[in-house]
Amino acid sequence: RRCAATIITGNTLVTSAVCAKSNYPASKYGQGGWRIVTGAEERYMQTPPNSAQTYVVKNIELDECSNIAIIQIEGSMSFGGQLMPIFISSHPVSQASTMYTFKTSDPSGNSFLGVTQGVSTACDQYLPGYTDNNFMCSQPVLGQTITDDYLGGDPIIGFSTQPDGPLAVLVGITGLYYSTLEDSQNAVANDATAYRFNAIVAAHVKHIATIAGVSAESLVSTGDLG
C-alpha cells in the first residue's frame, strides 16, 4: 500500500498530508486515479486485484502545516466485519499513555510498533515549536524503518478507560521523521534514533465533521487514555 487511510465515517477518512500529496499515485495511475481499497488482504497489496472493493476519492483537503489530509469518497462505505470506523480521542495524551501504530514493513498488517511521547526538550531540538502546529512528538522505538514508512499516514491507536465507550480510539496520524542524518531525511537510509512528529487528530475534529456532514460530538470519545 502506498498510503494508509483511517475511516472516520462512511464517507470520510484521514491520512498524512505528505502521503496524500505524494506524486506516486499520479505517476502510477494518472491524475484522478486515487482510490480507497478495503478488504482483509487486498488493502495491503501494492496492486490490488480487480475484484477488490474500492471507492473513488471525491476530494482531499490538505493541512500541510499540521500534516493531515481529510479524504472524502464518492458514496458511502457499508460497515461490517473488519470494516468499521473509529472514534477520535479528545482527551490529552499523557506521557504514560500506551499507543500503537502499524509496522509498515510488514505487508500483512499484523505487526505493530509501540508509540511513546518524546520529552519536549529533546523534541524541540528537532522541530522547535512543534506543539504550535498540533504535533505529537514520538521518541525512537525499536523496529522503526524510515525507508518503509517515511510518508506516514498510519493510525496511532490508544486505549480509552471510558467504561461505556469504545476501547480503541484514534489519537494521531503518523508523520515525518526528523533525523540529523541527511540520507535519513531523504528516506535513503534508516536512522534508529530519529524522532517522529505526528498529527493529533482531535485538533481537526470540527473540520472533519464539517466535511463528513455530522456533528463533531458524534466522532469523539472523551475517556482518559490508559
The tens digit of pLDDT for each residue in 106-154 reads 666 667 889 999 999 999 999 999 999 999 999 998 888 888 888 899 9
Helix (H, G, I), strand (E, B) or coil at 176: strand
CA distance 12 to 25: 19
Please tell me the CATH code under which domain 6-83+205-218 is placed: 2.40.10.10
Domain borders along the chain are 6-83+205-218, 88-202
In terms of C-beta density within 10 A (0-12 exposed, 13-18 middle, 19 or more buried), how is residue 32 classed?
Answer: exposed
**If you classify domain 88-202 with CATH, what class do you get?**
mainly beta
Q: How far is Cα 220 from Cα 205, in angstroms, rounded to an integer? A: 8
Amino acid at position 47, single letter: T
Q: Are 173 and 198 in contact (CB under 8 A)?
A: yes
The reply to whether 6-83+205-218 and 88-202 are identical in fold is yes
Element (DSSP H or E) covering residue 172: strand 168-178
Q: How many CA atoms lie within 13 A of 120 on its CB side?
A: 7
Residues 76-97: pLDDT tens digits? 998 988 889 999 999 888 877 8
Which residues does 196 contact at the CB level (< 8 Å), separation at least 6?
137, 138, 144, 152, 174, 175, 176, 177, 178
Q: pLDDT: is 108 or 212 the higher one?
A: 212
What pLDDT score does 194 carry? 94
